[in-house]
Amino acid sequence: MKKITLILAVLVFGIKPLIGQPADTKKAFIEATGSSETEIVPDEIYITVTLQERQDGKDKLTIEKQEDDLKQNLKEIGIDLSNLSLNTANADFRRIKSFKKDVVTSKSYVLKVGSADMVTKVYERLDKINAHDAYISKLNHTKILEFTKENRIKAIKAAKDKVDYLAAAVGNQLGGPIQITETLNSVENNPYGHYYNGRMSNAVQSYGGMDSSESVGDEISFKKIKIKASFLVKYEIK
């Protein structure tokens, strides 16, 4: 019985110092959000081109012939054919008035060019060979990762600048960072549905993307790629 009493006394004695310790007070802090947006002109524009077998008078205009015409025209405007790649190829049965039942073949290609001016030249050649259709499927920049990194740095610096002057405004200095959270990191490179429809006068149709400053006709232009970033930072106040 004495042993048990002694053990309990030791336990109670050991707990008392812990119970008597004051709770840690929370650190004062200040937080702010910083954001940055960078716009860049795309230097990689991807055009998806579709060729489709069709009747040309009494003769059938084959995919092979159209493909040869396409490659020849691209070379004439200075495009390296290594930038042209096959996307899809298919054949299905369709009823056409000029030939009752036949296999209609189509091929889709992806062509990479470097400027809006070259897109205009490509569309002119597509009109010349009477291609089935084409559209801008992707916009990109060769240094997109570098621009994204720089934009994120600008955003976090903007957040830090905010907490600096806000703390100074109330006569305090900043301590170390308590929390840094990235709330946004996005790249907007929507090609806006620029389509070729067989006539250069209507070569580009805009579906919610082109503004009044952008041209349609002799020259095709695009809205710039937008890179956005945002950070929430929380700093201790001394």
CB 33 within 8 A of CB 231: yes
DSSP assignment of 110-126: EEEES-HHHHHHHHHHH
Q: What pLDDT does 10 receive?
A: 36
Instruction: Please report the DSSP string for 46-80 in residue order.
Output: EEEEEEE-EEETTEEE-HHHHHHHHHHHHHHTT--
Q: Which helix (H) or strand (E) holds 109?
A: strand 99-113
pLDDT in tens, 30-47: 999 999 999 999 999 999
- What is the pLDDT confidence band of residue 55, given thresholds at 50, 70 and 90? confident
Nearest to 34 by CA among 155, 140, 150, 136: 155
Q: Residue ranges of the alpha helices (H) in 84-178?
A: 116-129, 144-169
What's the pLDDT band for 56 if we cut at 50, 70, 90?
confident
pLDDT value, residue 112: 96
CATH number of 44-140: 3.30.70.120
Helix axes 116-129, 63-76, angle to 10 degrees: 140
Structural fold of domain 27-42+142-188+210-238: Translation Initiation Factor IF3 (3.30.110)
- What gap in Å lies between CA 117 and CA 134, rounded to an integer? 16
Q: Which residue has the higher pLDDT, 90 or 66?
A: 66
User: Nearest to residue 131, comparing CAs of 194, 83, 63, 191?
Assistant: 63
Closest alpha carbon to 123 in 223, 216, 203, 214: 203
Q: What percent of the chain has pLDDT over 90?
A: 53
- What's the pTM value of the predicted model, to 2 decimals? 0.70
- pLDDT tens profile 121-153: 999 999 999 898 898 888 999 999 999 999 999
pLDDT band at 87 (very low <50, low <70, confident <90, very high): confident
Q: How many CA atoms lie within 13 A of 99 on its CB side?
A: 15
pLDDT at 205 over 50: no
Which pLDDT score is estimated for 194? 53
Residue 227 burial (C-beta neighbours within 10 Å; 0-12, 13-18, 19+): buried
Confidence at 24, pLDDT banded by 50, 70, 90: very low
Say yes or no to pLDDT of 11 above 60: no
- Range with the lowest mean pLDDT among 24-33, 137-146, 182-191, 224-233? 24-33
Average pLDDT, the chain: 78
Section 163-181 average pLDDT: 93
C-alpha–C-alpha distance, residues 183 and 198, integer Å: 44
| Range with lowest mean pLDDT among 55-69, 107-121, 150-164, 166-180 | 55-69
Domain boundaries, the chain: 27-42+142-188+210-238, 44-140
